[in-house]
Amino acid sequence: MSAFILRRLWQMIPTMLGVVLLVFFLFNFVGGDPAYLLAGKISNKEQIENIRTQLGINQPYYIQLWIFIKQILTGDFGVSWATNEPVSHIIATRIGPSLTVLVPILIIETIVAVLIALAVAYVRGSLTDRAIMVVCTMAMSVSLLVYIIVGQYVLAYKFSWFPVQGWGDSFAENLFKYSALPILLGVAVGLAPNTRLYRTFILDEINQDYVRTARAKGLSEHKVMLKHVLRNALIPIITNLMIYLPSLLIGHFLIERFFSIPGIGREVILAVERSDFPVIKAITVYVAAATMISNLLADLLYKAVDPRVKLK
């Protein structure tokens, strides 16, 4: 196990270097001259050269690349071009609100989707099964923006069950008051596609030979579904969850924007609007690192769920 983890961590280094080179190329050769963006429309050559000197972009590319690598290794990406706030402080203060909303969404929608998928698998092919799949298809056809607008109008404005916007200093207040409606809408959006997907995973296992053997041995349908089918279906479910996990770093853009949640997703939108390259580069690197770590975590969870899986 330890050798596998060390080997995977070692393999992340060239992958991360490729990400660094790609990000450096995009921001230096495709993104345009940041000095012109910061100087604005009313500027002169002297101002532009001063900005280039301050940013260090008048130096050779290999020196700029080395500076970028040192920023990644130290976690110090400089200051925001828009607010002059340290990028590390921006990420540290924005990640909390994003996780406050997105972690409950991930947990609730996964548990509920698995339970519904198991329930419809029990009555597979019946009218109930088909009706639930039709409802899921209809729910998937509705945009997240529609859920947000209707949810804010009906649940927050009409019935006053939730606040429309806001964020405080108390974690409990943020979780149970200001995040309640965003979490509810996030679960409503993700529940339909996950239910359809997990139902497919479970039905694929139901048709396997080992399930028929378990039934032939006299095991009840309840034990077959929970002890055999669900356990084997957890492997593709874990894969789906690990794909979604890195998105916790960048949040739900629309939810954070419409509910004024000071999270990473809202910060990414503001950084793109302001051409705030240090913030965008830092978040891009962190998301790439989180993606690789989540892949490693997925392999370890495979082994925990199914001991037959060998880590090589």
Band of residue 209 on the pLDDT scale cut at 50, 70, 90 = confident
- In percent, the amount of the chain with pLDDT more than 90 equals 3
d(CA 228, CA 210) in angstroms, rounded, equals 8
Assess whether 189 and 269 both reside in one domain: yes
In a domain, 239, yes or no: yes
Query: Within this chain, do residues 70 and 169 fall inside the same structural domain, yes or no?
Result: no
Give the separation between CA 3 and CA 28, rounded to whole angstroms.
38
Report if residue 287 sits inside a domain.
yes
Q: Are residues 31 and 118 in the same domain?
A: no
pLDDT of residue 293: 87
Phi, psi (rounded to 5 degrees) for 157:
-85, -50
**Mean predicted lDDT score pLDDT of the chain:** 82
Nearest to 98 by CA among 200, 298, 214, 249: 249
Count of residues making up the chain: 312
Q: What is the pLDDT of residue 34?
A: 66
Rounded distance between C-alpha atoms, residue 113 and residue 237, angstroms = 11
Same domain, 109 and 19: no
Assess whether 121 and 257 both reside in one domain.
yes
Residue 140 is predicted with a pLDDT of 87
The answer to whether residues 38 and 186 belong to one domain is no
What is the per-residue pLDDT across 4-15, written as a single tens digit (0 to 9) for each? 778 888 888 888
Query: What distance separates the 2 farthest-apart alpha carbons in the chain?
Result: 85
Q: How far apart are CA 278 and CA 186, in angstroms?
A: 29
- Of 74, 109, 125, the last residue of a domain is 74
Kindly give, in sequence order, each residue whose CB lies less than 8 Å from that of residue 43, ignoring residues fewer than 6 positions away: 36
pTM, two decimal places:
0.82
pLDDT at 285: 87
Burial class, 278, CB count within 10 angstroms (exposed 0-12 / middle 13-18 / buried 19+): buried
The pLDDT value recorded for residue 55 is 67
| Residue whose pair of structure tokens reads 């910060």 in the numeric block | 267
Show the domain range for 27. 2-74
250 found inside a domain: yes
Classified as helix, coil or strand, 86 is strand
Give the C-alpha distances (Å, rounded to integers) separating 37 from 63, 84, 199, 275: 22, 15, 50, 7
Tens-place pLDDT, residues 120-139: 888 877 888 889 889 988 88
Instruction: Say if residues 229 and 147 touch (Cβ distance below 8 Å).
Output: no
- The answer on pLDDT for 282 being more than 70 is yes
On whether the CB atoms of residues 267 and 94 are closer than 8 A, the answer is yes
Locate 226 and state its tokens. 């929970």
Per-residue pLDDT of 28-72, as tens digits, reads 776 566 666 666 655 667 666 676 676 666 777 788 888 888 888
CATH of the domain at 138: 1.10.3720.10
Residue 82 covered by a domain: no
Alpha helices in the chain, H assignment, sequence order = 2-25, 34-39, 45-55, 61-74, 87-122, 127-140, 144-151, 171-173, 180-206, 209-216, 221-223, 230-244, 253-258, 264-274, 277-305
Give the chain's domain count.
Answer: 2
Same domain, 54 and 116: no
Domain assignment present for 140: yes
Pick 73 or 47 by higher pLDDT: 73
Q: Does a structural domain hold residue 278?
A: yes
Q: Are residues 41 and 168 in the same domain?
A: no
Question: What is the predicted pLDDT for the residue at 24?
Answer: 82
Which residues face 86 on adjacent strands?
79
Q: pLDDT, tens digit, for every residue of 152-173?
A: 888 888 888 888 888 888 888 8
Look at 30 and 184; give whichever has higher pLDDT.
184
Residues 282 and 240 in one domain: yes
Tell me: do 25 and 131 sit in the same domain.
Answer: no
pLDDT given for residue 112 in this prediction:
93
Mean per-residue pLDDT for 258-270? Answer: 85
